Structure formats: C-alpha cells, structure tokens
Amino acid sequence: MSQSNADKFLEDSSTISFDLRHRDIITNNIDKYNTAFEKGKSKFHDLENAKKKANLIKWKVMENLDRYLVEFETNFTAQGGKVIWANDAEEARQEIWKIFEKHNASSVIKSKSMATEEIELNQFLETKGIDSVESDLGEYIIQLLGHKPYHFVTPAMHLSLEDIAKLFHEKFDTPLEATAEELTMKARELLRDKYNTADIGITGANFLVAESGSIAITENEGNARLTTTFPKVHIAVVGIEKIIPSIGDLDLFWPLLATHGTGQNLTVYNSILSGPRKANETDGPEEMYVVLLDNGRTNLLAKKEQRQGLYCIRCGSCLNVCPIYQNIGGHTYETTYQGPIGSLISPHLNGMKEFKHLSNASTLCGKCTEVCPVNIDIQKMLLLNRKDAVDEGLAPASEEKIWKGYTTVVKKRRWLDFFGGRFKNFIMRNFFKKAWGDKRELPEFADKSFTKQWKEQQKNKD
C-alpha cells in the first residue's frame, strides 16, 4: 500500500525536526525577520485599527466576490486588457498555452508568483520545450536547485549564504567565498539579457483593483517591473481572492503587507498596471492578459466560516511565528501554501481527504491569529476543518471509537480512578508510542490515582 500524505507528513516532520543544521538556518532567518517586523510594526499609529479595517474590507469583498470580479473584468477590458477565467489548473495552463501559440512564443521571463507555482506552470512549459526563467532571486536560486518554494514570501529561506555561494560556484564558477552582494550582481548579470529576449513575461499580482481594473504588484528587486515592461506580452496569473474594491485601499494594504511580510514600511517597488501600453506610453506590453484563477477557491468560499481564509494577503507572517513551521519547515507540507494559512486553505484547494491532516499540524497557540494583518481567526478555522473532516466521514473509524471511549472515561471521575496507573501505562506503551515518537519519553502515570493520593494526604493531615 502506498504511503498516505498524512504518514509521509509525519515521517518527514520527525526527520527534519531533528536536523540541527536546518534548524539553525531557519532560526537565524526567522530571527532576522522578527527584528525587522518589530521595528516596522512600531511605525503604525494604530496597528490594531488598521487590521480591523483590512478585515472589514476583505469581508465585504468575499461576501460580494462575484460583483467585484465582474467589475474588475469590465474595467480592465475597457483599457484593452484581456481576462481569462480559469476554473482549475489545467484550464489555466491550456489557456496560457493558447497565448503562446498565438504569439509563436518560445521563451519566458517570470517574476515571483505563487499562483503559477500552484498550477505548476514551469513544469508544464518545460514539457512544451519552453525556456522559462525565474527572475526573483530566491525563485531563481530554487529553480537552479530544482526545489519547490520553502516559504511563499521567502522561497529560499532554507538555504544559507554558504549553500547559495556553493551553488553559484558549481553553476557559474563564482568564488566560494562570494558575498551576498557579489552573488546578487552575478544573478543580475545572468538575468538582464533574458528580459530583452523573452517573448512573454509572466507575473502574479498582490492585488486586483476592481474600481480601476488594475493589478498591483509589490516587490523588492525590480524584476517584476522589467518582466512586465520588456516582453511584448504580459500574462498575470492571479487568484480570484486577491481583489480589493478601490485604488485607495492600497493605502492600507501596501503598508500592512510590507510590514508583516518583511518588516519594511513599504516594499521598494509597487506597480499598478492597467492594461497594455497605450498609444502615448513609451513602455509596456502590446498585450496584457489576466488569468483569474479559481482552482478550489470557490470551495472555500462556499464555507461560511472558513471563507475568511480567502482574506489572506500572503504576507507570510503566520508562518514565521508558527512553532510547527519553525520545526518542520516548508517542504514537509507538500503544498503551495505552507504554515498555518496553508493548513487552513489547502484541504479546500487540494482535497480534504488528502490534506485534512494539516489541520492537526497546529499547537493552537493562536500566535498566527495574533499576527495576521487581516485578522483571520486561523486556529478556529483549523478546528472547523477538523470538524468538517469528521462530518464528511473522513476520520478513521478507530479514531471515533477511541474518542468515544476517552470521553466516557474522562467525564466520570469514577471511571478515571477505576483504571490504575499500571493499566494506563500499558495502554500508552502499546497504543500511543508510535504517535508519541521515539525522540521523547512517554509520560508515566502514577500508580495511584489523584483521588487516592488526595484522600491519603487528607487522612495524614488529620
């Protein structure tokens, strides 16, 4: 029998949690984030109020998503852009391929986009013989390594400077002791030409602005700007939840995203693109397409409570504070979106049966909810996912029996006391040892129950 996703998740988690090198790299990178975040956060006059406002806007959008998406389409189309509605990954890939055929395109420059990761666009284009190059430095590094993103904001977070220097040394013969700046310059030198020669530029978008029919892209390296400027065709692949009502809302969402994503007050480059190049403009593509991607998002929208998972602006903050993510890292999830938000949305995007185990990958400490800039009640949503899995009959029959037995016993002190310590230890050793893992000692039950010990203590006092 093939290994289930849940078993693989447990196995990989227990291996990586004890990989001390991995832990050192992650701790170091997350520490840097924490320092920047604390500083960035202090610049808000009233952060809690900003979060409340962002939550309200996203709530309004999700309750009226159909209306806002059509408004976006109308306004974007009026400016010469073309909108493609894609129900799923396959439809998105096929529609994108039609654009390639129409333009006889053979090369692509890409900027960072999780939606294209979701539809595995690079892998698809490779099967078609298309040369697709990632231009975001982190994405470029993991593309060279053949890795998937480790973190949806910082895709190469699992690599140290030494790892990257070694990679560049092997691929491009740079010195092993090259500094971060030298490596960046090398990547820049390698990528510059690609912007000029690529037939098509592909990006994601951080926001879709309904009122103006625009996409807004936020980045630190300037590569998205070049990707959307040089090639004759620009395709943006964007999840339908990225919509916001008006351009004025960026005033709130840009600083929230920058602060929670990287600790910056504002990300370095923020571009608003409203259709292809106009007659009086000097740069920009001749054609611009926006692929509006559903790919399971409407399953989540159909859930009255969990639909707040669609408010997410992908800042990555909940990953950075999550004790589970900090220990097991991003690749263990085997999903495009990792960490607490990934655990919340992936069962709805990729299948409850295959990914319900992620809803249990949480200590429910609530730190994710506390930091979320759009106030998503993540830990409550994870509990609701667990309930859904049970309601859909996806929990194993043994689990149901165990919980029934456990509930009966713990509800009555008489039952709890009935089983002595030896019996309880026997049950632990024989039924829970595997789940407990071999890296920590099983808890020992005392021989005498609490009631017995209490009574004896009282008696001795008298």
User: Given the rule CB under 6 A, which residues bind ligand SF4?
Assistant: 260, 312-318, 341, 371-374, 376
Closest distance between ligand SF4 and the C-beta of residue 339, in Å? 7
Please return the burial class of 383, using the count of CB atoms within 10 Å of its CB with bins 0-12, 13-18 and 19+. Answer: middle
Strands of 214-219's sheet in order across: 243-244, 207-209, 214-219, 269-273
3-state secondary structure of 207: strand
Cα separation, 191 vs 143, in Å, equals 13
Closest distance between ligand SF4 and the C-beta of residue 152, in Å? 8
Nearer to ligand SF4, 234 or 260 (CB): 260
Cα separation, 244 vs 263, in Å, equals 22
Nearer to ligand SF4, 260 or 297 (CB): 260
Nearer to ligand SF4, 71 or 118 (CB): 118
Q: How many Å is the maximal CA-CA distance in the chain? A: 97
Give the pairing of strands 287-293 and 233-239. Answer: parallel
Closest distance between ligand SF4 and the C-beta of residue 241, in Å? 10
Q: How many CA atoms lie within 13 A of 228 on its CB side?
A: 30
274 neighbors 79 (Cβ within 8 angstroms): yes
CA proximity to 147, closest of 123, 126, 125: 123
Please return the burial class of 397, using the count of CB atoms within 10 Å of its CB with bins 0-12, 13-18 and 19+. Answer: exposed
Cα separation, 366 vs 3, in Å, equals 31
Closest distance between ligand SF4 and the C-beta of residue 320, in Å? 9
Nearer to ligand SF4, 132 or 338 (CB): 338
The alpha carbon of 390 is separated from its chain's Cα centroid by a whole number of angstroms, namely 25
Closest distance between ligand SF4 and the C-beta of residue 446, in Å? 42
Closest distance between ligand SF4 and the C-beta of residue 330, in Å? 13
Closest distance between ligand SF4 and the C-beta of residue 193, in Å? 34
294 neighbors 349 (Cβ within 8 angstroms): no
The alpha carbon of 323 is separated from its chain's Cα centroid by a whole number of angstroms, namely 16
E strand or H helix at 224 = helix 223-229
Tokens of 200: 């098509």
**Bridge partner residues of 214 (DSSP):** 209
Nearer to ligand SF4, 233 or 318 (CB): 318
Cα separation, 57 vs 287, in Å, equals 31
Tokens of 428: 């632990």
Nearer to ligand SF4, 208 or 341 (CB): 341
Amino acid present at 263: G
Closest distance between ligand SF4 and the C-beta of residue 120, in Å? 21
Closest distance between ligand SF4 and the C-beta of residue 382, in Å? 11
Closest distance between ligand SF4 and the C-beta of residue 453, in Å? 45
